[in-house]
């Protein structure tokens, strides 16, 4: 019976490890996805800054055109001033020139503002390019490392499954079924150690007489409280089994 307990303990250890490995494996695709998302965000931010810069450059070009047209308008108005016949006409042209000059002033202010904005946006594009290339340098390595981890965990799961199969073949079928039933009902833990009369599964005391019998390990016992299969493990000794 000592051998049976040892087999059950080993089976429980394998199953608990498999649960952990599966959980680890589950978290990895999410990490890969987040990495991908960060890359897309940085690329998106860079694209956006480049688009904005293009827009600013275009607007600057338009305003320069506007300025040129304004200057031509002023030039024509000045020429017309030379041919005026009446004071009224003269005043009208002066008024017209004043309107154009006011407008020119506004366009010039706009151009200054656009140039400042373009400078900022150029800096943002440069920073975005720097961030993206720095990220891309580590991105490929990290992604490959994560994919390697997924592969390693898969290999581990296969190994655990094979070891499990070996253990199952060495255990009586009805005991395996009992083990599976308890494991299902008791949060994945069917076999648990007891120390100092306390079940490590439910943390309740077991009867003293049962505890004494348990240390002799002559037959399979279950915790009266949580019904897990229990075994005695000396937690005080070095090299716990």
Shortest reach from residue 184's CB to Zn ion, in Å: 16
Shortest reach from residue 221's CB to Zn ion, in Å: 11
Question: Could you write out the DSSP letters of every residue in 28-52?
Answer: HHHHHHHHHHHHHHHHHHHHHHHHH
CB 75 within 8 A of CB 93: no
Residue with tokens 């040129």: 68
Q: Judged by CB under 5 A, does residue 210 bind Zn ion?
A: no
CA distance 109 to 236: 83
CB 206 within 8 A of CB 224: yes
Residue 11's H or E segment, with its range, is: helix 2-82
Shortest reach from residue 15's CB to Zn ion, in Å: 18
Shortest reach from residue 179's CB to Zn ion, in Å: 15
CB 43 within 8 A of CB 139: no
CA distance 148 to 132: 24
Q: Which stretch binds Zn ion (CB under 5 A): 69-77, 127-135, 202-210, 214-222?
A: 202-210
Q: Quick one: which of 77, 114, 201, 214 contacts Zn ion (CB under 5 A)?
A: 201
> What x/- string results for residues 9 through 48 when contact with Zn ion is judged by CB under 5 A?
----------------------------------------
Half-sphere exposure of 37 (CA within 13 A, CB side): 6
- Site for Zn ion (CB under 5 A): how many residues? 6
Q: Quick one: which of 20, 26, 127, 225 contacts Zn ion (CB under 5 A)?
A: 225
Six-digit token string for 20: 């952990």
> What x/- string results for residues 161 through 200 when contact with Zn ion is judged by CB under 5 A?
--------------------------------------x-
Q: Quick one: which of 84, 168, 202, 220 contacts Zn ion (CB under 5 A)?
A: 202
Q: Quick one: which of 49, 191, 223, 229 contacts Zn ion (CB under 5 A)?
A: 223
List of residues contacting Zn ion (CB under 5 A): 199, 201-202, 223, 225-226
């Amino acid at each position: 019976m000592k051998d049976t307990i040892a087999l059950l303990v080993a089976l429980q250890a394998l199953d608990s490890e498999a649960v952990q490995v599966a959980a680890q494996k589950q978290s990895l695709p999410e990490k890969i996805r987040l990495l991908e998302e960060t890359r897309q965000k940085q690329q998106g931010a860079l694209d956006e800054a480049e688009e904005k810069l293009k827009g600013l450059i275009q607007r600057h070009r338009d305003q320069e055109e506007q300025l040129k047209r304004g200057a031509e308008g002023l030039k024509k108005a000045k020429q017309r001033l030379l041919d005026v016949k009446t004071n009224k006409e003269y005043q009208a042209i002066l008024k017209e020139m004043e309107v154009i000059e006011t407008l020119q002033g506004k366009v010039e202010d706009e151009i200054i503002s656009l140039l400042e904005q373009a400078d900022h946006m150029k800096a943002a594009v440069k920073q975005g390019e720097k961030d993206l290339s720095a990220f891309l340098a580590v991105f490929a390595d990290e992604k490959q490392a994560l994919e390697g981890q997924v592969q390693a965990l898969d290999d581990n799961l296969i190994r655990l499954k094979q070891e499990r199969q070996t253990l199952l073949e060495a255990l009586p079928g009805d005991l395996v079924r009992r083990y599976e039933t308890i494991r299902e009902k008791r949060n994945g833990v069917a076999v648990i150690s007891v120390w100092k009369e306390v079940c490590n599964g439910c943390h309740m005391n077991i009867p003293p007489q049962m505890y004494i019998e348990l240390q002799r390990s002559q037959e399979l016992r279950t915790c009266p409280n949580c019904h897990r299969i229990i075994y005695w493990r000396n937690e005080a000794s070095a090299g716990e089994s």
